Structure 1
C-alpha cells in the first residue's frame, strides 16, 4: 500500500475556531478520497495559534524554537499541504503570513497546496485566493485551482448557501489536491 503525507496548517486564532473546522472538513474529504483508492495517509495537523509566540520570536530575535522547527520540518517533508486561514479585514491573518516568512525560499517547491479562507463577514472578501497564491509563489508551491472560501452563511442552514454549497467546494478542491499528491506523481520531490 502506498502512502501520502499530508500537513494541515490552521491559522485560526479565535474561539470557537471555524477556521479549524473548515480545515478539518477539508482534511476529512482528502483522506476519505485517498483511503478509498488504497492510499495510506500520514497526517500532521498544525495549529498556528499555538506557535504564534514562536513565530514572532523567530522573526524578531532569530533562531526558531524546537516546536517551530518541528512544525517547519513537518510542512517541508509533506507530499501535500492544506492551509486554512481566517480573513482579517481583507488579508490573511498575521499568523498565516508569519508562518511562511520562516520557511526558506523554495521550501515548498512543487508541493501541491489546497488553500482555504474563512471569513467572518457575509460580504465576500476580495480574491484572497490570488493573494495567498502570490504568497506561496515565492516558495515555489503549486496551489490547486479551487480555493475554498467559507463565510457565516456556509455554517448555517439557509437557502442562500449552507453546508451543502460549502461541501461541494470542499470536495472539488479535495479532488484536485488528491490528484496532485497521489503516488507516484510526487515521487520526484
Structure 2
C-alpha cells in the first residue's frame, strides 16, 4: 500500500491516507462517481502511475461509502465531496493527511417549461419548497453521496419532507445516469 512519501507527489489531489499497512505496488483508492464520470480519475491515475510506478485500484462509490471503506481500512486514500462528513471523518479518524483541492457547484436542473416556477426562487431552499408545493417530479440520487447529502440539507432548509411528495423519485444512480433518466421522464 502507499506510504506517506508518495502522497507528496499528488499535489492535485485531496488525499486522506486511511491505512497504515506496508507499501505494496498498488494504491487502493475510494473515490466518487463524479471523479470517474468526468474522466479525471483516469487522467490522475495515469499520471500517478507514471510518477510512482504504482498501480491505482479504484473503488468508485458515493462519498459516504468511500469514508466507510476508509474506516474499515479497505483503502489507502479517499477522494470525496461532502465537506461536513469530511470534517467529522478527519476529527474521528485522524488521517495522516487531509487536503481540499476542488469545490462543487450544485445546480438545480429541470424541464424548460419550469412547472414549479423555480426560476423565480430566491434561494436553493426556496426552489426546493416550490418543487414540493407544486408536487413536481424530483429525481434524487438517494445513494448517500455528497450530492445526496447536499440535497437532503436543502430539503431541511426548505422545511420539507420530500418523501411526502409522490413525485420524489429515489433513483439510486450516479449523476450522469440520473440526468439521463430524468431527461427520459
Q: Same fold (TM over 0.5)?
A: no
Structure number with higher strand proportion: 1
Q: Provide TM-score, normalisation by structure 2.
A: 0.32
Asked which structure has the greater CA Rg, the reply is: 2
Q: Provide TM-score, normalisation by structure 1.
A: 0.31
